[in-house]
A = this chain, B = another copy of it.
Amino acid sequence: MRSDARCNRLRILEAAAEVLAASGDVSLKSIARRAGVGQGTLYRHFPSREALVFQVYGEEVDGLVTAVPVLLGGLPPRLALRVWLERLLDVGRCFPEFANAMSLVTGAPAEHCVEAYRPLLGALSTLVSVNEAAGTISSGTTAEDVLLLLGPLWHVEARAEDRARSDRLFETLLRGLCPSATAREAPAGAAP
């Protein structure tokens, strides 16, 4: 990779971080303008908007990935999953574009070529697997399922400030995903 290309890449990421943080015009063109590069350059470095967004929030993604073994080492599987999902939700609350990218990519992972999404999915897969082994998640549930169900929670927080509602919905989801330990006599699937 040539040095000017490398430099442009960094400038794009910087400009993107600024533009995405400020609400308002978040078009790819405005990012290119702010970075002082042509639209073609931006498009070549990042083949899709989602690819760019995941790179911009690369640190947050890394943090989520490395947190998995720590959480699993110190907490029971069910709680580890819960804490990790809360952290994921917080990232989406801080950076609405991250939430948007997650929703889009979860809906159609194959179409957007975002390899930065794969580690996140892998991290969640580990948590799901451990929970399945422990019998603390409804069997058959995949990481994609969890992300799909989580999607609406980001949209609620992006609009208004009703954090209470978001928490309530999260509890509802978790109750569905991880049949409560107090209901051991119902082996998941015996509901009328």
Contacts and interface: CB of A to CB of B under 8 A. Distances in A.
Interface string A172-184: 1111111111110
B176 A172 contact: yes
Closest 10 A-B residue pairs measured CB to CB? A176-B176, A183-B183, A182-B186, A175-B176, A172-B176, A148-B152, A107-B155, A180-B191, A151-B152, A173-B176
Interface in A137-192: 138, 140-141, 145, 148-149, 151-152, 155-156, 159, 165, 168-169, 171-183, 185-186, 189-192
Interface residues of A, number: 37
A175 B192 contact: no
Contacts of A7: none
A177 B172 contact: yes
At the interface, is chain A mostly helix, strand, loop or mixed?
helix
Interface of A: 78-79, 107-108, 138, 140-141, 145, 148-149, 151-152, 155-156, 159, 165, 168-169, 171-183, 185-186, 189-192
A145 B159 contact: no
Contact of A192 (B138, B165, B179, B181): B181
A165 to B, nearest CB: 7
A182 B175 contact: no
A185 B182 CA distance: 8
Given A141-B168, A182-B186, 13 more contacts: A78-B192, A107-B152, A141-B172, A145-B168, A145-B172, A148-B156, A148-B169, A149-B149, A149-B152, A149-B173, A172-B176, A174-B191, A176-B176
Given A149-B169, A151-B151, A182 B177 contact: no
